[in-house]
Amino acid sequence: MSRKGSLRVRFAPSPTGHLHVGGARTALFNFLLARHGGGVFVLRIEDTDRARSSAAMTRSILESMAWLGLEFDEGPHHQADGLERHRRDAGRLLEQGRAYRCFCAPPGSTRSPREGEGERCGCDGIPAGAAEARAASGEPHALRFRVPEGETSWDDAVHGRRAVANDHIEDFVLLRSDGSPVYNLAVVSDDVAMGITFVLRGDDHLSNTPKQILLYRALGARLPTFAHVPMILGPDGKRLSKRHGAASVEAYRELGILPEALFNFLALLGWSPGGDREVMDPADLIEAFSVERILKKSAVFDSEKLMWLNRRHIERLSLERLTELARGPLEEAGVAKAVLDGQPERLRQVLGLVRERGNTIEAIALQAAPFLLDSIEYDPEAVARFWKSPAEAARLLRAVRDLLAGAASFEPAALEADMRQLAEAHEVGAGKIIHPLRVAVMGTGVSPGIFGVLSLMGRERTLDRIEQALGYLDAAATAAN
Ligand code: GLU
């Protein structure tokens, strides 16, 4: 199956929308299959449906694949470029008596006559000479495949043995009366021409497979291995769609998901490496991947798990890459370019302190911003909770200010010892000082350990923030009286 050099797989998206999670997972499995087996990964854009396909969507799919790191080795081929071959293949089947002309279509109609009705067509009985004469006179007609007697079966690499009695398969259309090929013909013609040896796709194509196998046989081509991967369900058990929130790769990118996290997450949707391994990078996944471990039952999309994986992958980033990724979100949070460019060391220190405190780069940037902004805003919830009594908060903050102004060292351990002493002297728990202080310097009710925060903030900026907070608190205390 995966003899080196012989494995050829393809991803064949229709460019009628952005790359969604299901398509991305199919692309990813094909990528892993090819890379694991030393095979070739082909990209084919299935753009025969002119009305619904667009160049913009093709670009978007290519961008999403590139962002995810799904590099293909060949392509993109465009299915529409194969039109002449599709017609030739249908013509060959007609010549060999494996297809026949069907005149049932209303003249000018592009619709497949009686497609999917599960019947034989009366046109099968038209004597060959008469059918040729009608065609030669320009009578519009489609080409139908003549389904042979018997049974069509295959060993699906995921679903096992599948078999369908041929009398359940209608004489399906190959070419419509306007000369356009139907999907099943185009796909088989392309897969044969491109030497595809392994077809891995969504199991919404299971029902097409018998027809496609009949076409392979009729065209005298070797069957590829088929693997149909179960679909992805939303948490409500229904097929995953936009209703469940973000569904496209692009949307997750905008949400601040790392490509390696989405890569990891998609790989675990319907596949498992065995054991309890979960956090894996692309190289681990390539090594571990095998079709045998694709699960038969549908996978459920769990956004919390995606967030969890994102966090794990953020933790694994080098500080350099994290810094690079955080620039955009930091700018959006109001941090000046001059600070981002001018204080690289400080930027790295700040990110190093807060990096474990968010599921996305955006969340981490928000935690980093107070260190880098000239002035901060106070989170109303934190104010309500920790500055409930402004006069009391101001009294303690003045004591802290005096302490920090004279502190011999701004190292976290020294600051902690000083602060505990101060709390004792004022006969309050340390929390009574730390929480109001955190709101004063960070504007928030949560942050990394306060002593690390103060140390990184530095004496000058800390004192400055405390002064600002005192201004706020004094005004609030006056207003309350
Ligand atoms: N273009 C088809 C789709 O997007 C895939 C065809 C195939 O994989 O055989 O569903």
Q: Where are the domains of the chain?
A: 84-156+159-175, 317-372, 380-480
Question: Roughly what angle, to the nearest 10 degrees, separates helices 430-442 and 450-457?
Answer: 40
Provide the Cα torsion 353, 357, 358, 361; round to 10°.
0
Q: Is the per-residue pLDDT at 11 higher than 80?
A: yes
Give residue 271 CA to ligand 1 midpoint distance, Å.
Answer: 20
CA of 13 to the centre of ligand 1 (A): 6
List ligand 1's pocket residues with C-beta within 6 A.
12-14, 46, 187, 201, 205
Q: Mind listing the pLDDT tens digit for each residue in 46-86?
A: 998 888 999 999 999 999 999 999 999 999 999 999 999 99
Q: What is the pLDDT of residue 107?
A: 45
Q: Which atom of ligand 1 sits closest to the CA of residue 201?
A: 8
Strands 232-233 and 299-300: parallel
Q: Say what the pLDDT of residue 172 is.
A: 92
Residue 204 Cα: closest atom of ligand 1: 10
Minimal-distance CA residue to ligand 1 atom 7: 12
φ/ψ of 11, rounded to 5, equals: -115, 130
- What was the pLDDT predicted at 341? 93
Which atom from ligand 1 is nearest to the alpha carbon of 46? 1
Q: How confident is the model at residue 116 (pLDDT cuts 50, 70, 90)?
A: very low
| Fold assignment, 84-156+159-175 | Glutamyl-tRNA Synthetase; domain 3 (3.90.800)
Q: Separation of 20 CA from ligand 1 center, angstroms?
A: 13
* pLDDT tens, residue by residue, 233-244: 988 888 887 777
Task: Supply the pLDDT for residue 121.
Answer: 78
> Which is the closest atom of ligand 1 to the Cα of 23?
4
Q: Tell me the chain's radius of gyration from C-alpha atoms.
A: 32
Counting atoms of ligand 1 from 1, which one is nearest the CA of 191?
Answer: 9
Mean pLDDT score, 279-291: 96
Q: What are the tens digits of pLDDT across the range 136-185?
A: 999 999 999 999 999 999 999 999 999 999 999 999 999 998 999 999 99
Q: What percent of the chain has pLDDT over 90?
A: 84
pLDDT for 128: 86
- pLDDT score recorded for residue 108: 45
**295 pLDDT band (50/70/90 cuts)?**
very high
Q: How confident is the model at residue 3 (pLDDT cuts 50, 70, 90)?
A: very low
Catalytic residues: 242
273: its two tokens: 């490496």
In this structure, the residue with its CA closest to atom 5 of ligand 1 is 12
Residue 276 backbone dihedrals phi, psi, to 5 degrees: -115, 25
pLDDT for residue 258 is more than 50: yes
Check residues 119 and 289 and name the one with the higher pLDDT: 289
- Please give the average per-residue pLDDT across 259-288, as a whole number: 95
Could you report the per-residue pLDDT of 399-429, keeping only the tens digit for each?
A: 999 999 999 999 999 999 999 999 999 999 9
Q: Which of 43, 205, 213, 231 has most ligand 1 atoms within 8 Å of its beta carbon, as the pocket-test mutant?
A: 205
CATH architecture of 380-480: Orthogonal Bundle (1.10)
Query: What is the whole-number distance in angstroms between the Cα of residue 387 and the centre of ligand 1?
Result: 59
Q: pTM of the entire structure?
A: 0.86
| 24 CA to centre of ligand 1 in angstroms | 12
Q: Is the pLDDT of residue 324 over 70?
A: yes
CA of 46 to the centre of ligand 1 (A): 7
Report the percent of the chain where pLDDT is more than 70.
95
Distance 464 CA to ligand 1 centre (A): 61
The atom number, within ligand 1, closest to the CA of 26 reads 8
In this prediction, residues 281-310 reach a mean pLDDT of: 94
Which of 201, 203, 208 has most ligand 1 atoms within 8 Å of its beta carbon, as the pocket-test mutant? 201
For residue 187, give the ligand 1 atom closest to its CA.
Answer: 9
Predicted pLDDT of residue 405 = 95
pLDDT band at 125 (very low <50, low <70, confident <90, very high): confident
Report pLDDT digits (tens) over 208-220: 999 999 999 999 9
CA of 380 from ligand 1 middle (Å) equals 51
User: pLDDT tens-digit profile of 343-361?
Assistant: 899 999 999 999 998 999 9
Q: Whose CA is nearest to atom 6 of ligand 1?
A: 12
Task: Classify residue 127 as exposed, middle or buried by CB count within 10 Å of its CB (0-12, 13-18, 19+).
Answer: exposed
458-466 average pLDDT score: 96
Which tokens sit at 446? 């949560």
Q: What pLDDT, on the 0 to 100 scale, is given for residue 391? A: 94
Ligand 1 mean position, distance from CA 44 (Å): 9
Look at residue 300 and tell me whether its pLDDT is greater than 70: yes
Rounded Cα–Cα distance for residues 275 and 273 (Å): 7
Q: Residue 4 has what pLDDT?
A: 46
**pLDDT for the residue numbered 119:** 58
**Mean pLDDT rounded to a whole number for the chain:** 92
User: Which of 16-30, 102-116, 179-193 is least confident?
Assistant: 102-116
